[in-house]
Amino acid sequence: MDATVITDIFGSYSPIAPMIVLIIGALIMPALYFGFKKKAPVTAIALIVMVISIAINLIMLTGGNYPAEYSSFEGLFEYNDFSGLMILLFQAVSIIVLFVSVSSTETTTLHYGAYNSLLLIATVGMMFVGEATDLVGIFVGVEAVSISSYVLVTMKRNDSRAAEAGVKYVVIGGLSTALTIYGISMIYGSLETLTLSELGPALAANGYSWAFVVGLICMIAGYGFKIAAVPFHMWAPDVYEGSSTPVSIFLATGSKKMGLVVFFKIFLVMFVVAKSMAGFDIEIVQYIFAIIAAFSMTVGNIVAISQNNIKRMLAYSSIAQAGYILIVMAVMSEYALTGGLFHMFTHVFMKGGAFLVVGALICVGVGEKITDYNGLAKRAPVLAFAMMLFLFSLAGVPPLAGFTSKFVLFSGAIFDADGSGVMTQWVWLAFVAILNSAISLYYYVRVIKAMYVEKPAKDASGKIKIPKTFAIAIAVCAVLVIVLGVYPDLILDLCADAAAALI
C-alpha cells in the first residue's frame, strides 16, 4: 500500500500518526475496564489499537512514496527509516506483552485498565524517543517510559518483592533523571544547542570544554542506568525478579532498547559528525565506550553463573547483551550500527521468548528457581525445546538468530566497513565479546541440563498445560528465532537502511 494513504488521512500529523492511535487507546483503557470489568475485552481492544498503529507504521516504513514534506512534525519529531524501524521494534515488544498479560496470573486484576493504559503510554514514550530531534524531546520520552514503568513494576499480585523492586527502581531512576537533566544543562551551556543535528558541528567548533566533559559524563551515567550497563546495572536483577513476568519482558526487551536508541541518537551521531569535520579526535570517547561494553558483558556473564533464580540469571544475561550492543558505540561505524540494530531485534524474540517460558510456567505453579525446571522436558517437551532454542540463540549457537546477529555485530568490530579487509583497532573488543559468549553458554546449559537430564521432584508430576496466549507467543518467538537465523535479510536490510538514515 502506498504511504500517501497515511498522509491523506493524517496530513501534517502523519509523522506521529502511530503514536496518536496509541494515545487515544491509552486514554480509553481505564474507562473500558470500568465498563467491562473483565480482562479479555479490554485486552482485545488494546491489541486492535496496537495492530492499527503497527499497520500505519509498516505502511510508512515500507510503502514507498512517503512525501518528504510530511517527514517532520513541528521540528520536534522526524520520521525516517531509523525512527520507523525503532518504532516497529517497540511495537513488537508491546504487542507481545499485551497479548500475554491477559492470561498471566501475576498481573493485576483490579487495576487492569490502568495497567494497559500505562503499557500504551510507555510505548508512546519509546516511540517519541525514536522520532525526537532534540535532547528535550528525548528526555520527555524517556521519562514517560520511566514513570509508567515505576508503576507497572509494583502492579503484581500478592508479592512483597514487587513493592521492594518498585522502591529501588524509583530511587535509582530518580538519580538517573537528576544526572541526565544536569548533563543536558551542561551540554547546552557548552555547545549552545539542544538540537541533535547541531551537536556534532558545535562540538567540532568548540572542542572538549570542561562543561562538555562534565555534561557528557553525567548523561552517559544517567542513560547508562536505562540500559543497565556496568557500573549502572545494580537495579536490574531486583526489578526483573520482583515485577510480573510480562513487565520484566517489557523492561528487558523494550525499555532497554529505548536506552540504546538514546545512545545512538545522541552520542553516536554527535561524535561521528564531529569526526567527519576536520578530523576531530574522538578516540578517547571510543575507548570509554569500549571499556563500558567490555565490563558490561563480562560482569553480566560472570555474575549470571552463580544465580539460582532464573529471572535474575536472565537479568544478568541482559546486562551482558547490552554490553555486546555497546560495541557499536566503540566502533562508531555504519556497519557496526547495522549489526547492533539487528541484534536488538533478535534479542527481542530470544530474550522475550525465554521470559515468556518463565511466565507461562509461573502461571501453572512452577517456581522461578532453576531447580524447579528439573525434568521439564518430560512434563512439557515442546516448552522445554522452545526454551532450549531461546537459550542457545542467546549464547550465539548457529544457525539461530543470536548467532547471525552476533556475527554481523562482532564483524563490525573486526574489519573496516569499507570492504578492504583491514582489521580495526577493536579486534580485542570482538575477542572479549566472543569469549563472553562462550562463558554464557555455561549458565544457559545449566538450565538445559535441568530440563533434560535432572529428574523432577517427587511432587512435580503430570503434563503441563500453559495458557494459550503464552503458547502462541512462544511459538511466534521460536519461529522468528529460527527464521532470522537462516534468513536474516528479512530484517537486516531494514537495519542497514536505518543505520544509513541515522549516520
For residue range 281-337, list pLDDT tens digits in order: 888 999 999 999 999 999 999 999 999 999 999 999 999 999 999 999 999 989 999
Burial 155-170 (b: 16+ CB within 10 A, else e): bbeeeeebebbbebbb
User: Span 360-373, mean pLDDT?
Assistant: 89
Q: Is 435 helix (H, G, I), strand (E, B) or coil?
A: helix
What contacts 501, CB < 8 A, 6 or more positions away?
A: 80, 81, 82
Which sign does the torsion angle of CA 132, 136, 138, 140 carry? negative
The gap between the terminal CA atoms of the chain, to the nearest Å, is 28
What pLDDT score was predicted for residue 62? Answer: 84
Q: What are the DSSP E strand ranges found in 18-140?
A: 72-73, 77-78
Q: Regarding predicted confidence, which is higher, 102 or 458?
A: 102
Q: Regarding predicted confidence, which is higher, 462 or 247?
A: 247
**Position 423 confidence tier, pLDDT thresholds 50, 70, 90:** low
Say which DSSP state 209 is in. -
Percent of the chain with pLDDT over 70: 96
**Position 89 confidence tier, pLDDT thresholds 50, 70, 90:** very high
Mean of the per-residue pLDDT values of the chain: 90
What pLDDT score was predicted for residue 75? Answer: 84
What pLDDT score was predicted for residue 302? Answer: 95
Highest-confidence segment of 9-18, 139-148, 199-208? 139-148
What pLDDT score was predicted for residue 165? Answer: 86
How far is CA 223 from each of CA 260, 264, 376, rounded to the nearest angstrom?
9, 11, 39
φ/ψ (deg, to 5) at 107: -80, 150
- What is the number of helices (H) and of strands (E) in the chain? 23, 2
**Position 53 confidence tier, pLDDT thresholds 50, 70, 90:** very high
- Which residues are paired to 78 by β-bridges? 72
Dump pLDDT digits (tens) for 335-344: 999 999 999 9
One-letter amino acid for residue 160 of the chain: S
From CA 17, how far away is CA 472, in angstroms rounded?
29
Nearest to 239 by CA among 316, 352, 339, 132: 316
From CA 372, how far away is CA 250, in angstroms rounded?
24
Q: Within 10 Å of residue 453's Cβ, how many Cβ atoms?
A: 10
> What's the pTM value of the predicted model, to 2 decimals?
0.94
**Position 368 confidence tier, pLDDT thresholds 50, 70, 90:** confident
Nearest to 265 by CA among 162, 136, 175: 136
What pLDDT score was predicted for residue 418? Answer: 54
What pLDDT score was predicted for residue 421? Answer: 57
Whether cis (ω within 30° of 0) applies to the bond prior to 246 is: no
Which sign does the torsion angle of CA 68, 73, 79, 80 carry? positive
Is residue 398 over pLDDT 70? Answer: yes
Is residue 456 over pLDDT 90? Answer: no
What pLDDT score was predicted for residue 40? Answer: 85
